[in-house]
């Protein structure tokens, strides 16, 4: 380890390699367009997605071009969910970052940008950012002078590249499986739209969701009593809306767990494997299928279907439903309560149509489930290797 050296983050960045998004006054809502040059937001760092809600015109871009992303840039979420990272790839569109993002650009003579990304993804790197963040209601990333003084241990450039290549090989496989899942889900959804929206029958039965499914709601133990919560994955998985935001069609893990005593003490309903969960507070309309038994917080409902052939239809029905049509029980954030969810209108097609759709869509769902299990395995391998490689505990032969 004698050739590894300690640096401050600021010492391994380009001269202008620390770029926080423009202040709100520099980019007002009225200046945002429906097309043009895209604006990167929090979700692009948190989820790694590249779908855009907002754009700016060329004149505004010229004014804010110093906030434009470049290939290889690391973008970091700065508010709420702090410290999530994504890398701008060559195929990603030119665009500027919002106020809620930070760009980091490494000095190529000192640090290999992919290595820096993995450092920031490691438990130590992420903790270095999140532990310095502040805000009692809305957590925000710490000030520049604090973040720039984070310590980072660097091996020589060839070893940085070798370490990054090992981890990238796992991420490449994860990315391939993720893209395959998206293609399969898009195809299954196209069939859903054709059969159940475009060619919908007026003769199909209309009732309430609770008429057709057993619907349960999660629960959160008192936060003041931290002994109910755990980081030990041998305890009971406790899924939050944030976990759903990072998952795809299937979800089986979370960032937080409940002790078995907490589940028993507060009579928290377990979500059975195969049930479909739906977020209905703050962020409404996230949908996923349980890969295993787990629990959820009170912002998530779970639907247990009576017949397997209803699964694929229920999943896309919940995913495409217009939740704004249900109204809101909150003046602060979009939310509907559990009673409204149970009473939400539900269109139930005839059994034969459901069975025909199930025959087409079920193999796609099964392949996505298989891919998701592979992704979870690869992620665990990567996450186990990551801190050991970044710290030098495991060395890579070059």
7-49: pLDDT as tens digits: 999 999 999 999 999 987 888 888 999 999 999 999 899 888 8
Q: What percent of the chain has pLDDT over 90?
A: 77
**Contact call for residues 311 and 274 (beta carbons, < 8 A):** yes
133-137, 148-152, 208-212: lowest mean pLDDT where?
A: 133-137
Q: pLDDT band for position 2 (50/70/90)?
A: low
Query: pLDDT for 346-386, tens place per residue?
Result: 999 999 999 999 999 999 999 999 999 999 999 999 999 99
Gap between the Cα atoms of 307 and 313, Å rounded: 11
Gap between the Cα atoms of 78 and 205, Å rounded: 47
- Residue 30's pLDDT is 87
Q: Output the average pLDDT for the chain.
A: 92
Q: How far is CA 73 from CA 7, 37, 172, in A?
A: 20, 17, 18
- Residue 131's pLDDT is 79
**Contact call for residues 310 and 346 (beta carbons, < 8 A):** no
**Contact call for residues 92 and 37 (beta carbons, < 8 A):** no
- Residue 332's pLDDT is 43
Query: pLDDT for 317-333, tens place per residue?
Result: 999 999 888 876 554 45
- Residue 29's pLDDT is 86
Domains of the chain: residue spans and CATH: 5-154 (3.90.220.20), 205-348 (3.90.220.20)
What is the CB neighbour count within 10 angstroms for residue 391?
Answer: 15
- Residue 224's pLDDT is 75
Give the N- to C-terminal CA distance of the chain in Å, as an integer.
Answer: 15
pLDDT of residue 210 exceeding 80, the answer is yes
Gap between the Cα atoms of 1 and 3, Å rounded: 5
């Amino acid at each position: 380890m004698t050739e590894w050296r300690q640096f401050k983050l600021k010492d391994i960045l380009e001269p202008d390699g620390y770029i926080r998004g423009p202040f709100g006054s520099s980019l007002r809502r009225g200046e945002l367009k429906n097309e043009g040059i895209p604006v990167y937001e929090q979700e692009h760092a948190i989820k790694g997605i590249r779908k855009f809600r907002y754009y700016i015109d060329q004149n505004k871009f010229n004014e804010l071009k110093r906030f434009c992303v470049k290939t290889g840039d690391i973008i970091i979420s700065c508010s709420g969910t702090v410290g999530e990272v994504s890398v701008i790839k060559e195929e990603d569109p030119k665009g500027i970052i919002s106020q809620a993002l930070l760009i980091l650009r490494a000095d190529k003579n000192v640090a290999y940008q992919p290595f820096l990304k993995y450092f920031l993804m490691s438990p130590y790197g992420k903790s270095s950012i999140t532990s310095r963040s502040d805000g009692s209601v809305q957590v925000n990333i710490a000030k520049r002078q604090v973040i720039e003084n984070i310590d980072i241990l660097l091996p020589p450039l060839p070893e940085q590249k070798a370490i990054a290549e090992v981890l990238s090989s796992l991420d490449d496989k994860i990315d391939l499986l993720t893209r395959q899942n998206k293609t399969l889900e898009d195809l299954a959804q196209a069939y859903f739209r054709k059969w159940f929206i475009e060619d919908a029958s007026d003769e199909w039965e209309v009732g309430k969701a609770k008429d057709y499914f057993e619907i349960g709601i999660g629960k959160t133990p008192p936060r003041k009593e931290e002994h109910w919560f755990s980081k030990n994955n041998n305890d009971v998985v406790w899924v939050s809306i944030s976990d759903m935001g990072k998952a795809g069609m299937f979800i089986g893990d979370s960032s937080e767990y409940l002790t078995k005593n907490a589940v028993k003490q507060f009579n928290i309903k377990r979500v059975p494997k195969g049930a479909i969960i739906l977020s209905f507070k703050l962020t409404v309309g996230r949908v996923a299928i349980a890969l295993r038994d787990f629990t959820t917080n009170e912002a998530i409902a779970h639907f247990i279907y009576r017949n397997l052939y209803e699964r694929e239809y229920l999943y896309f029905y919940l995913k495409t439903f217009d939740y704004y049509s249900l109204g809101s029980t909150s003046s602060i954030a979009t939310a509907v309560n559990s009673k409204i969810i149970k009473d939400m209108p539900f269109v139930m097609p005839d059994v034969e149509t459901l069975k025909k759709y199930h025959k087409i869509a079920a193999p796609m769902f099964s392949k996505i489930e298989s891919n998701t299990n592979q992704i979870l395995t690869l992620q665990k391998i990567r996450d186990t290797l990551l801190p050991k490689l970044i710290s030098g505990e495991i060395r890579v032969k070059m």
